[in-house]
Structure 1
Amino acid sequence: MKQRCISADSHIDMSWLPPALFTENAPMQMRSRMPFQEETPQGWRWTTRSGLHLGFACALGATGRPYEPGKIQRADRMAEQGLFSDGAKGIRRISTPELRVKDQELDGVDGEVLYGILGMSDRLKDEEASVVMLQIYNDWLRSFCAYAPSRLLGLANIPCHTPEMALKEAQRVVALGGFKGLDMAAAAPSAKPYYHPDWDPFWAFANETRLPVHFHTFGPEMPDMTGWDAATKEGARGAAFACGQIFRAARVLTGLVMGRVLERFPQVRIVFAESGIGWIPYILDRLNWSYDEEFRHTIALSLRPSEYWYRQCHASFQTEESALPVLRHAGYDNILWASDFPHPDGIWPDSQRYIQKLFGDLDPHTRDKLAYGNAARLYGLQ
C-alpha cells in the first residue's frame, strides 16, 4: 500500500534552470555580472564573464557535474528514467512544473520542499551580483510553484552576507507571497553569527510571519590545501564531506539556543536539512549539561536547552537506518522524511520502497507522521 509522503528536502539546482534566466531578468547594469550558459566541447556550461565555471547544464547535483554511467548507483537509477537524456534534448524535467509533478507521481511522492541555489551565492564571488541572482531565482520559483502550490513547496533563497540584506529580501518575498519558508545561506560567510543582536530584526520578522527558517548544509568547510599532494587533498575532502554537514547544523542550533534566539522569539520555526538526525540526541544532552553545569546563572533561559528543540525545531533525513533508534530522543513530532531528489544520493524514483524499508515496522500513525504529517503541519497543508 502506498504511503502518503512529502519530501522535506528536494532541490532545484542552477544546472536545470532556464539558460537565460538571469541575463534576461537582471537590471541592465547588472547583466554582465550574471551567470549564463556557454557552449563547450563537453556541453553547455554555466559560467560568468569573470571566468567562473558553475557547472554543466542538466547535469548532476548542486555543482552540475556531468553524469558518468556506472560511477554512482543512484545517478544510474535516475538515468534509467531518462532524466539526463531528456536534459540533453533541452527537456528540463527538474524545473518544468508539469514534468516535476509527473516525476513526483512516478516516485509516489505527494509534494516536495524545494531548496535552491544558495551555494552559488558564495561561488559567484560577487556579493552584489549574488543578491540580484537570488532575487531573480525567487521570482522565478514563485511562478514555478504556482502551478501546483500543494505539491511544489518553494523556499525563498535569502542572501545572508549581512543581517540587513537578509531581512530586506525576506520582507520582499513575504510581501509577494507564495513561499513556504526562508532558506538561509548556512555555508556562506556571514559577518556575524545568527545569534548576534544585529540579527534580531530578522528573527522578529520570522517570529511575526511564522514562516519556517531553513538551514541546508550544502558542503564542507575545506582547509587551505595549497601545496598538498593529491592523495592528502582527497583525504581532506572525504573527511570534510563525512562530518561537515553535522558540524554546521550543530553550530547553528547551539548558537540559536544559547544565544537566546529561540527564547526571545518563540514563534520562530527552524528546519535543518541533509544533516541527518543521529547527532541530535547527543547535542541536546550536551546543551543540557553545559547549561546546567556552566551557564545557568549567566544565560537567562526559561526552558532547558533541549526543550527549545522540541518546541521549535525540525530536521530531515533520508535513508540512514541508524536514525531509527534515535527517533524517540529526536522527537517523533520533529522529524521529517526526505528523498533529496534529484541529487546523486537521493532515492528517486524508489521512495516508496525506501519508506517501507525504513518505517515498515512502525505503527501506522507514527509512520504517517514521519513521512507526511509533520511536513504537512509545518507547511500549512493540513
Structure 2
Amino acid sequence: MFIVDTDVHNYWSSAEVLLPYLEPYWRDFLVRGEKPGPRGSFPHGHRPWLHPEGFSRHDIRPETEEDNYLIMKEKHLDLYDIDVAILTADEPLEASTLANYHYANALVKAYNDYMIDWWLPKDSRFKGSIIISPTDPHGAAAEIRRLGGHKDIVQVLASHGSQRPYGDPFYHPIYEACAEVGLPFAIHFGGQGGVNHNAVASGPTAYYWETHALLSQPAMTHVVSMISNGVFEKYPDLYFVVIECGVSWVPSLMWRLDANFKALRKETPWLKMLPSEYCRRNIRFSTQPLEQPQNVRHLWETLEHMDGQNTLLFASDYPHWDFDAPTNLHIPPAWRDKVMGLNALEVYKRIEAPAASARVA
C-alpha cells in the first residue's frame, strides 16, 4: 500500500540550530533574550494550561537531530513502510503567537532554511512545509514566494491559533501566493497563547485534556470562515488542509451551514455552491486524531456523510503521545488505498508514487 503520512513532526534538540540562519540582529534576540536550550525554548506566547506528560511518546526521546532522524527511521518510516512523510515542524508553529511579527517572520524563515538544509536531504521520503506567521500576511506571502518553487516543498503551514478566522480578507495575500506557486494551505492544531489568547470560543481552558477534546472549535471557525468569505470562489483550485483537529464534527457543521445558507444566502451572494460542496471540493482533513466510538460503525456512518473516502488524508502525528499507527486506523477497509495515500496525490501535486528502489536504503 502506498502511504503518505501528512503529519510527521521533526523535532530539534535545541532552538540553537536556528542561529546560523538568523541575521545578527535577530540572533541577538534569541541568544540574549531566550537562552536556547532544551526543546521548548523557542519563543512563543504562554498558554494558560500545561501538558502533564509532555507531547512526545516516552519511548522517543532523541538527544540530537541525528538521533531524532535515526529513531524516526527505525520506529516509524521503516517500521510502517512509509512512502512519503510530510514534515510539519513543531515549536516553529508557535511563531504565530508572537506580537512582534518581525521577529516571528525571522524565526520561521530561519526554520524553513534549516529544514531545507538539514531535513530534506536526509531521506528521499521527506517533503517539507513552509511555516509562516499569519500575523503578517504580506510577509508570509513573501516567504511562500521565496521557497514555493522548491521541488520538495509541498504545502504552506500555519497554526490553527489565530487572531482572526482564516477566511478574513486580511489573510488573502497568503492564498494569492499559495495559488501562484501551486501549494495547498494547511493549518495544524496549536499556537494558542500570546496574541492568540483563546484556545476555545468561551475562554481559556484550565487543563490540557479538555483543550485537546475541544481542539476542533478553532478549526470549525476557520472552515466556516474560508467558505463564507468566498476564498474558494476567489481561488477555486486552492486546497485547505485541516490537520489534527478531529473529523466527526464536519457533517453536522455542513448540515447547519447548508440550511442557513439557503435561508440567508443574500449575505454572501458571491457563493455559487452549497457550503458542503465547497467543503468536498476544496477542504481535506487529516485522520489523526480519529474519533473512537465504542461501535466503529457509528464513526463510519459519520465519515460517509463527509465523503470521507475522498476527503480524508492519513496522518500519524509522529512522535506525539496520541500517535496513530497506519495499522490501527479504523476506517472502512474499502477506503484504505485512497485515505492512506492516493487522496494525498490530488492535494500535494509534487508527490509521486515512488518505485520501491527509490526509497532510502
Instruction: Tell me the TM-score normalised to structure 2 length.
Output: 0.80
Match of 1:107 in 2: 80
Match of 2:249 in 1: 279
Q: CA deviation at 1:32?
A: 1.3
Give the 3-state SS of the residue equivalent to 1:321 in structure 2: coil
Q: CA deviation at 1:64?
A: 11
Give the 3-state SS of the residue equivalent to 2:102 in structure 1: helix
Give the 3-state SS of the residue equivalent to 2:67 in structure 1: coil
Using a 3 Å threshold, how does the CA distance of structure 1 residues 289 and 240 change in structure 2: closer, same or farther? same
Match of 1:289 in 2: 259
Using a 3 Å threshold, how does the CA distance of structure 1 residues 295 and 369 change in structure 2: closer, same or farther? same
Using a 3 Å threshold, how does the CA distance of structure 1 residues 321 and 237 change in structure 2: closer, same or farther? closer
Q: Letter of the 2:5 partner, please give it.
A: S
Q: 2:107 aligns with which of 106, 130, 133?
A: 133
Q: CA deviation at 1:201?
A: 3.3
Q: Which runs of 5+ in 2 are unaligned?
A: 294-298, 353-361
Using a 3 Å threshold, how does the CA distance of structure 1 residues 337 and 223 change in structure 2: closer, same or farther? closer
Q: Letter of the 1:21 partner, please give it.
A: V
Question: Are the equivalent residues in 1 in contact too, given 2:51–2:208 (CA < 8 A)?
Answer: no
Give the 3-state SS of the residue equivalent to 1:283 in structure 2: helix
Cα separation, 1, equivalents of 2:20 and 2:100: 19
Cα separation, 2, equivalents of 1:297 and 1:122: 31
> Could you tell which deviates more after superposition, 323-332 or 158-167?
323-332
Match of 2:355 in 1: none
Q: Letter of the 2:327 partner, please give it.
A: R
Q: Which runs of 5+ in 1 are unaligned?
A: 56-62, 225-232
Question: Are the equivalent residues in 2 in contact too, given 1:315–1:334 (CA < 8 A)?
Answer: yes
Residues 248-263 of structure 1: matches in 2 within 5 Å? 248-263=218-233
Match of 1:145 in 2: 120
Question: Are the equivalent residues in 2 in contact too, given 1:119–1:188 (CA < 8 A)?
Answer: no
Cα separation, 2, equivalents of 1:302 and 1:121: 36
Match of 2:27 in 1: 31
Give the 3-state SS of the residue equivalent to 1:195 in structure 2: coil
Residues 45-64 of structure 1: matches in 2 within 5 Å? 47=41
Cα separation, 1, equivalents of 2:197 and 2:139: 26
Q: Letter of the 1:172 partner, please give it.
A: R
Can you list the C-alpha shifts for 1:330-376, whole angstroms capped at 9, x where unaligned? 221111121110111113xxx24313xx14x522xx21111121123
Cα separation, 2, equivalents of 1:163 and 1:22: 22
Percent of aligned positions that are identical: 20
Question: Are the equivalent residues in 2 in contact too, given 1:67–1:75 (CA < 8 A)?
Answer: no
Q: CA deviation at 1:203?
A: 2.1
Match of 1:375 in 2: 344
Question: Are the equivalent residues in 2 in contact too, given 1:119–1:187 (CA < 8 A)?
Answer: no
Give the 3-state SS of the residue equivalent to 2:241 in structure 1: strand
Give the 3-state SS of the residue equivalent to 1:301 in structure 2: coil
Cα separation, 2, equivalents of 1:66 and 1:235: 12
Whose Rg is larger?
A: 1
Match of 1:179 in 2: 153
Q: CA deviation at 1:249?
A: 0.8
